[in-house]
Structure 1
Amino acid sequence: MATPLIQMALDSLDFDATVALAEQVAPYVDIFEIGTPCIKYNGIKLVEELRARFPEHLLLVDLKTMDAGEYEATPFYAAGADICTVLGVSGMATISGVIKAAKAHNAEVQIDLINVPDIAECAREGAAAGAQIVGVHTGLDAQAAGQTPFGDLQTIASLGLDVRISVAGGIKQATVQQVVEAGADIIVVGAAIYGAPSPAESAREIRELVDAAGV
């Protein structure tokens, strides 16, 4: 299997702090994710800034689109996003709109399975419609209640769909190998990096663990 990609979740509302963090961890990650609160606060200017600074990195904008899929996603793809997210609970009409916008910009779509009642059916429908990535996602509130993404990851991986599987939800150094072995193609890390005394050192550690586990 190919070595999984590491996606860094940029969740701060502060524009300059977000860019500075990205600079620190850039050598060790593959995808910069502009988290939902971050993109709501900073908007397209942050997409443009990160695109200009990191032309070799993939840039995911975590819109979590719920309605008006094509209309909402289009300006972010035009600004340089490689991937935008759409909520699986939004339904196929909205998902298809984001897929249409992505195709127009030679970009990709990730379906976020957070709070989806039937994740297997949603993943199958999304893949059939043309989404390239399915995101297994245990949100912050669910993490606080003790939930993890590992069971859902195994469910989606067992479907054998022609998509990449992204997994997010409290992943840290101690759980990286488990995530890789369970079938993740994209590993999303947030607090384990940005909450560390040295984000760059933490990102380097996770990079080494992912590379070793993916061999």
Structure 2
Amino acid sequence: MSETGLRERKRQRMYQAVSDIAVRLFMERGFDAVSVAEVAAAAEISKPTLFRYFPAKEDLVLHRIADHEQEAARVVTAARAEGVAALPALRRHFLAGLAAADPVTGLNDHPNVRAFYDLLYGTPSLVARLHGYLERSEASLADALGDDLPSALEARLAAGQIIAVRRILAEENWRRIAAGERMEDVREDAQTAAERAFAMLAAGLPQLG
């Protein structure tokens, strides 16, 4: 492996380690009760070093889902290479996530996952920061859909609808599990809701079906 590759792996390990420490502290004591200085001390780095990795305190939490930011775009790009249309590929991907209890679908009842989403959705500043993540997800998906639609505006409109559907489905699953429902009881409804939601998208976006 090249020196550049080794540096990048070290950098990614640092990101993950600091984020893990921060999330643990936030879940134990609350987001607002833990300072950035405390996170830096627990991670044994300086505050300036921490801010080089994470420009805002909220980013310490959102790093957990950062890998999913361009997920929809990656699915569409990979599917196009296989000759599969965008919406069927995204539908298949979301349903596979439900089957695997991928936390990003909201259908996961592991205590650590529940605690993370309680932290995320229960902290106003994190919810606000999450909008930026969603906007970037929409932008990357719109770029991926650019070849399938006649204009950049239509690609943006389509991407906004798709990202919103994925978000709402995941939030509904998380809401029910957070309310105490068993994951097995939620799963069938979640699959049915996803099928209906993607059918609605396909009806309104026939170019992507």
TM-score of Structure 1 vs Structure 2, range by shorter chain: under 0.3
- Larger radius of gyration, structure 1 or 2? 2
More helix by share: 2
TM-score relative to the length of structure 2: 0.25
Greater share of strand residues, 1 or 2?
1
What TM-score does the superposition give when structure 1 sets the normalisation length?
Answer: 0.25
Using CA pairs below 8 Å that are at least 6 residues apart, which structure has the higher relative contact order?
2
